[in-house]
Amino acid sequence: MFQTFDVTSRPEQGPDRLAALRAELAREGYDGFLVPRADAHQGENVAPRDERLSWLTGFTGSAGFCAALRDSAGVFIDGRYRTQVKQQVADVFTPVPWPEVSLADWLRTELPDGGRLAYDPWLHSAREIRELSARLKGSGLSLIETDNLVDRIWTDQPPPPQAPVTAHPVAFAGETAAAKAARLAEGLRKGGHCAAILTLPDSLMWLLNLRGADIARTPVAHGFAILHDDARVDLFMAEAKLGDIDLGANVTPHDPARFTEAVSGLNGQVAVDDGSLPQALAQVLGDRMDPAGDPCALPKARKNTAEIDGSAAAHERDGAAVVEALAWLDAQPPGTVTEIDVVTQLEAFRAADPALRDISFETIAGTGPNGAIIHYRVTRETNATLQDGHLLVLDSGGQYLDGTTDITRTIAIGTPGRTEAEAFTRVLQGMIAISRLRWPEGRAGRDLEAIGRMPLWLAGQDFNHGIGHGVGAFLSVHEGPQGLSRLNTVPLEPGMILSNEPGYYREGAFGIRIENLLVVETARPLDSGDADRNMLSWRTLTYAPIDRRLVVPGFLSEAERDWLNSYHADVFRKLASRVSAAAAKWLEAACAPL
């Protein structure tokens, strides 16, 4: 199928690789080198060639970085990876809780007086370097640009990806590429910009109605682009990827080697997202750079009718595949199947859909203690058997031609314990609270996300990730700039798709997460007619049963019970005719009202 279960980097390789990197530090006279999980395009995911952090440290999480110094090496990870990092890195690396401990503060402690920290300016954004420089001011420490020191010692580093691109039909995109360029160019002119620089792969794909395969699980191609204020687009992408595809009259392809030269030749103010623009390009632009943001970001986030309809259709088919997998799993006695068995079965049911192009991320199937690893990925070495009393966290999704899906269900194996059921019900209450929410226009994710935590907070519990992330339309399963987290300040707008996924994790014991995708809509008027503000609300896109065996009915209010029963009635109505007879029978029982 799609997922492999082999370990690509092992902790025991870490000491030798770190020693080789330190030899390069000594040769150059540097005191440290920064190793991010990033590439020159600054997207969320990277190709095998750019997995420098994993290659060096063994850590395979989707976010983090290493500060490798001569006498210490810190692996900086956020709350999602506190458990995972302990299992993946050798003891020559020290896990550092980030952002609680800032890189600047750590460097002030760990580097010697006058220490010189090297970095690759193509792998760090302009904002990152500017902020780090400001925080190191007065410390006597200096940042030094260099070529990539990891690349020097990675003797079998994979080549750059060269997968061909394909056209994304207007029937799914809802707007031609030329119309998008014209619309964004008008915004550039109004903002006084001669051009905008695009480095994020999903921005390129969205703007040009293309899809690629340079990154596993995310249908994007690597490249750069300059969008001019007259709607011309200079595209810098390897010729082998483009083939004979029709890019349109306003798009001119170029050799990627000419990109820096083209940026240097721009005359006027240039709009950039300084959170993704590589520092190397910021230096080329100088005072012509205006951090006005990526002009594709918000238009891409505000899905049009075709994209929303496509996503809804993809979710119904995806839900049918999930139901088939859950029905199959429920028929297996505890102790007879493994995490890999579950992943394999689920991927097989998804693959039956001819519109599926890939899974949208590595399927998470963690049982027992593995479920407490928030972004756990099963390998042949960690593969656990599902035992009586365990919970299984099953987080998965698909990349379909008409939409991207992401769904998590926590499943009882055999007879669940009372502690697990009570925690599950609190998570469910938080998920229902977000789903039922109406809120005034102009509110951002940071204003809403605490509502989904309240049931857990009342019990003295919490979790170390946001409530939700943005999701693309046959693009990235993690899409900005919208999000449901305490850090996200982007106002939510109609058409934005986000996940709703509160959780709870007890290290060494179990994990819980329940996730649906939702789309923002203009709220329907209240029957009372008393509303004095324009309000927004959600429409649920994801349909699959929530495990009733883990619900403590007495915890639920009448409104919460009504929501769950109504949701399950919709699940059965939408999916019963899409699944096999055996799965339909199972689904009827799984959706029975509380």
- b or e along 217-231 (b: 16 or more beta carbons within 10 Å of the residue's beta carbon)? bbbbbbbbbbbbbeb
Distances from the Cα of 309 to the Cα of 169, 281, 298, 305, 578, angstroms: 14, 38, 19, 6, 18
Indicate left, alpha or beta for 507 from its phi (over 0: left) and psi (-120 to 50: alpha). beta
**Phi, psi for residue 367 in degrees, rounded to 5:** -110, 150
The residues with which 440 forms a beta bridge, in sequence order, are 535
Burial grade of 164 (CB within 10 A; 0-12, 13-18, 19 or more):
middle
Quote the pLDDT of residue 88. Answer: 86
Quote the pLDDT of residue 1. Answer: 58
Residue 82 has pLDDT above 90, yes or no: no
Query: What is the Cα–Cα distance from 358 to 350, expressed in whole angstroms?
Result: 9
More confident residue, 390 or 7: 390
Quote the pLDDT of residue 497. Answer: 98
Residue-wise pLDDT tens digits, 293-326: 999 999 999 999 999 999 999 999 999 999 999 9
Among 42-46, 112-116, 391-395, 405-409, which is the least confidently predicted range?
42-46
Quote the pLDDT of residue 494. Answer: 98
Residue 529 has pLDDT above 80, yes or no: no
Quote the pLDDT of residue 516. Answer: 98
Q: Are strands 73-77 and 94-97 parallel, antiparallel or unpaired?
A: parallel
Query: What is the Cα–Cα distance from 73 to 67, expressed in whole angstroms?
Result: 6
At 373, the pLDDT band (50, 70, 90 cuts) reads very high
In terms of Cα–Cα distance, which of 173, 171, 182 is closest to 475? Answer: 173
Q: Both tokens of residue 76?
A: 């900086």
Quote the pLDDT of residue 370. Answer: 96
Query: What is the Cα–Cα distance from 44 to 487, expressed in whole angstroms?
Result: 17
Mean pLDDT of 124-130: 97
In terms of Cα–Cα distance, which of 407, 397, 399 is closest to 499? Answer: 407
Length, in residues, of the chain: 594
Residue-wise pLDDT tens digits, 394-428: 999 999 999 999 999 999 999 999 999 999 999 99
Residue 434 has pLDDT above 70, yes or no: yes
In terms of Cα–Cα distance, which of 26, 61, 258, 34 is closest to 148? Answer: 34
At 7, the pLDDT band (50, 70, 90 cuts) reads low
Quote the pLDDT of residue 538. Answer: 98
At 285, the pLDDT band (50, 70, 90 cuts) reads very high
Query: What is the Cα–Cα distance from 143 to 71, expressed in whole angstroms?
Result: 18
DSSP 491: B
Mean pLDDT of the chain: 95
At 129, the pLDDT band (50, 70, 90 cuts) reads very high
Query: What is the Cα–Cα distance from 421 to 371, expressed in whole angstroms?
Result: 15
SS3 for 108?
helix
In terms of Cα–Cα distance, which of 329, 407, 378, 402 is closest to 174? Answer: 402
CB contact set of 320 (below 8 Å; sequence gap of 6+): 575, 578, 579
Range 11-153 has CATH code 3.40.350.10 = yes
Quote the pLDDT of residue 87. Answer: 83
**Percentage above 70 pLDDT, the chain:** 98
Query: What is the Cα–Cα distance from 392 to 363, expressed in whole angstroms?
Result: 12
Quote the pLDDT of residue 86. Answer: 85
Indicate left, alpha or beta for 194 from its phi (over 0: left) and psi (-120 to 50: alpha). alpha
CB atoms closer than 10 angstroms to residue 121? 20
Residue 90 has pLDDT above 90, yes or no: no
Distances from the Cα of 469 to the Cα of 42, 203, 216, 484, 494, angstroms: 18, 17, 19, 6, 15
Asked if the domains at 11-153 and 302-590 fall in one CATH topology, the answer is no
DSSP H or E run through 480: strand 479-484
DSSP letters spanning 189-213:
HHTT-SEEEE--HHHHHHHHTEE--
Among 222-226, 287-291, 530-534, 589-593, which is the least confidently predicted range?
530-534
DSSP 592: -
Distances from the Cα of 224 to the Cα of 16, 220, 447, 482, angstroms: 35, 12, 35, 23
In terms of Cα–Cα distance, which of 520, 514, 509, 503 is closest to 453? Answer: 503
Distances from the Cα of 225 to the Cα of 41, 198, 253, 277, 279, angstroms: 11, 5, 9, 12, 16
CB 178 within 8 A of CB 247: no
Residue-wise pLDDT tens digits, 217-246: 999 999 999 999 999 999 999 999 999 999
Residue 592 has pLDDT above 70, yes or no: yes
At 91, the pLDDT band (50, 70, 90 cuts) reads confident
Quote the pLDDT of residue 358. Answer: 97
Residue 50 has pLDDT above 80, yes or no: yes
Boundaries of every domain in the chain: 11-153, 166-300, 302-590
CB contact set of 58 (below 8 Å; sequence gap of 6+): 9, 10, 11, 13, 14, 88, 89, 90
At 89, the pLDDT band (50, 70, 90 cuts) reads confident
Rg of the chain over Cα atoms, rounded to whole angstroms, equals 24
In terms of Cα–Cα distance, which of 195, 225, 189 is closest to 210? Answer: 225
**Percentage above 90 pLDDT, the chain:** 91
Cα three-residue angle 378-389-415, rounded to 5 degrees:
135
In terms of Cα–Cα distance, which of 146, 148, 114, 116 is closest to 35? Answer: 148
Among 132-146, 247-261, 397-411, 530-544, which is the least confidently predicted range?
530-544
Q: Both tokens of residue 79?
A: 């709350």
Quote the pLDDT of residue 3. Answer: 79
CB 144 within 8 A of CB 189: no
Structure-token match 């859950």, residue found: 326
The residues with which 538 forms a beta bridge, in sequence order, are 520
DSSP 230: T
Fold of 166-300: Creatine Amidinohydrolase; Chain A, domain 1 (3.40.350)
DSSP 524: P
Choose the CATH number for 302-590 among 3.20.20.220, 3.40.50.620, 3.40.50.720, 3.90.230.10.
3.90.230.10
Quote the pLDDT of residue 556. Answer: 98
Residue 528 has pLDDT above 90, yes or no: no
Quote the pLDDT of residue 4. Answer: 75
- b or e along 11-44 (b: 16 or more beta carbons within 10 Å of the residue's beta carbon)? beebeebbebbbebbeeeebbbbbbbbbbbbbbb
End-to-end CA distance of the chain: 37
DSSP 8: S
SS3 for 321?
helix
Structure-token match 């008409």, residue found: 402
CB 194 within 8 A of CB 269: yes
Quote the pLDDT of residue 8. Answer: 64
